[in-house]
């Protein structure tokens, strides 16, 4: 499961270009606009987004935060993303898409234990940079960045779920399973329409608060989702084997949506069976 070669190549190229301009700046000064130290990737919304999410807290770009993302969105209502990191004392993760009408996608706060790699699907309204900010124990934010091309309309296009009314009958239904191949991970799918409120006549209605608890019902972390997360979210919580306990047996999810509906997942066991 290495990082996509093309993404790697692109990042290398980017770094090469950046360092080239950094080195050659004096001779290019007249012809080239100086690289903005605070925004070397020239993301038009970056300064503004940074202020929204982390104000003036210290940050740096980091290769230790990777966003796995397709180069283009085949389905702009279901863009897969996974944030991976190698920051041992990570406390918090913020994921957002700069050019979405609702930029925020997800935030994970560590209560106990470590910050998992997180996978989900989200909607994009147009081609956009995506940023993942991981804060370590010292308060420094490590910033990963990627980009997805898209034809758009994911947030405001009326979707099938909105047209049918059977979403109500399986609202909050949860399917999940533990995996332990290269990591300890929990993958769940929750039935929920995740309405953004941007489609005419369909009010915003989405799962916004998920708490992960361990065997002793201690809260390990809280995942806050925003409405751009795709309908019927499939969420992956993946803990590196060295940082996680033996397994995730006995783990459980507690979910709440913005209407105050509470859902609780079964207690997950490794053999695939769920213990209520």
Partner 1 sequence: MKSMPIKNRLLSQLRLTLRFWLERLHSGVVLVGILFFWMLSGVSFAATPYEIKPVNIAPDTWVVMGKNEPFTPENGGMIANIGIILTEQETLVFDTGPSRAFAEALSVWIKEQGGGPIRYVLNSHAHPDHFLGNQVFPQNRTYSAEPTQRMIVEQGPDLAENLYRMVGAAMKGTRSVAPGVVLKEGVSKIVLGSGSSEHQLEVRLLDGHSHGDLILLDRTTGVLFAGDLVFYNRALTTPHAVLNDWLAALDQLEGLSHSLLVPGHGPVHQKGEGIKQTRDYLKWLDKSFKQGAEEGWSMAEMLNWPLNPAFKSVVMQRYEFTRSLSHWYPQYEENALKQ
Three-point CA angle 116, 243, 208, nearest 5°? 20
DSSP letter assigned to residue 170: G
Q: Which residues contact 54 (CB under 8 A, 6 or more apart)?
A: 94, 133, 135, 141
DSSP letter assigned to residue 151: -
Site string for partner 1, 7-46 (x = CB under 8 A): ----------------------------------------
Q: Which segment (16-24, 91-99, 230-238, 247-255) binds partner 1 by CB under 8 A?
A: 230-238
188 binds partner 1 (CB under 8 A): yes
Site string for partner 1, 164-183 (x = CB under 8 A): -----------xxx-x-x--
Residue numbers 44-83 binding partner 1 by CB under 8 A? 68-72, 74-75, 78, 80-82
User: Contact, 244 vs 192, CB < 8 A?
Assistant: no
154 binds partner 1 (CB under 8 A): no
CA dist 121 to 68, 249, 253, Å?
Answer: 11, 25, 18
Minimum distance between the CB of residue 116 and partner 1, rounded to whole angstroms? 11
What 3-state DSSP class applies to 23?
Answer: helix
* The total number of residues written for the chain in this structure: 276
Minimum distance between the CB of residue 39 and partner 1, rounded to whole angstroms? 26
**Distance of alpha carbon 271 from alpha carbon 269, whole angstroms:** 6
233 burial (CB, 10 Å; 0-12 / 13-18 / 19+) is: buried
**Distance of alpha carbon 213 from alpha carbon 171, whole angstroms:** 22
Among 92, 234, 254, 256, binds partner 1 (CB under 8 A): 234
Among 128, 135, 208, 238, binds partner 1 (CB under 8 A): 238
Residue numbers 117-146 binding partner 1 by CB under 8 A? 119, 121
Closer CB to partner 1, residue 222 or residue 234? 234
Among 86, 211, 224, 236, binds partner 1 (CB under 8 A): 236
DSSP letter assigned to residue 232: S
Three-point CA angle 238, 9, 72, nearest 5°? 65
Among 11, 86, 107, 189, binds partner 1 (CB under 8 A): 189
Which spans of this chain sit near partner 1 (rule: CB under 8 A)? 1-4, 68-72, 74-75, 78, 80-82, 119, 121, 151, 175-177, 179, 181, 185, 187-189, 234, 236, 238, 272
């Amino acid at each position: 499961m290495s990082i996509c070669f093309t993404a790697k190549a692109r990042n290398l190229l980017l770094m090469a270009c950046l360092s080239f301009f950094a080195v050659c700046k004096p001779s290019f000064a007249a012809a080239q606009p100086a690289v903005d130290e605070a925004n070397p990737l020239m993301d038009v919304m970056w300064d503004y987004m940074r202020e929204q999410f982390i104000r003036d807290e210290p940050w740096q770009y980091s290769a230790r935060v990777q966003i796995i993302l397709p180069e283009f969105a085949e389905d702009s209502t279901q863009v897969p993303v996974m944030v991976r990191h190698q920051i041992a004392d990570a406390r918090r993760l913020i994921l957002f898409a700069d050019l979405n009408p609702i930029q925020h996608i997800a935030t994970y706060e560590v209560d106990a234990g470590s910050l998992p790699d997180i996978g989900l699907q989200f909607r994009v309204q147009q081609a956009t940079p995506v940023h993942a900010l991981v804060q370590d124990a010292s308060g420094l934010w490590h910033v990963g960045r990627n980009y997805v091309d898209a034809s758009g309309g994911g947030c405001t296009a009326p979707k099938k779920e909105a047209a049918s009314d059977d979403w109500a009958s399986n609202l909050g239904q949860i399917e999940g399973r533990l995996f332990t191949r290269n990591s300890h991970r929990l993958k769940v799918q929750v039935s929920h329409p995740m309405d953004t409120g941007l489609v005419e006549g369909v009010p915003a209605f989405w799962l916004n608060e998920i708490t992960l608890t361990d065997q002793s019902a201690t809260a390990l972390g809280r995942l806050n989702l925003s409405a751009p997360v795709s309908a019927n979210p499939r969420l992956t919580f993946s803990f590196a084997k060295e940082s996680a306990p033996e397994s995730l047996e006995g783990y459980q999810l507690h979910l709440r949506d913005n209407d105050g509906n509470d859902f609780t997942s079964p207690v997950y066991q490794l053999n695939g069976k769920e213990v209520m």
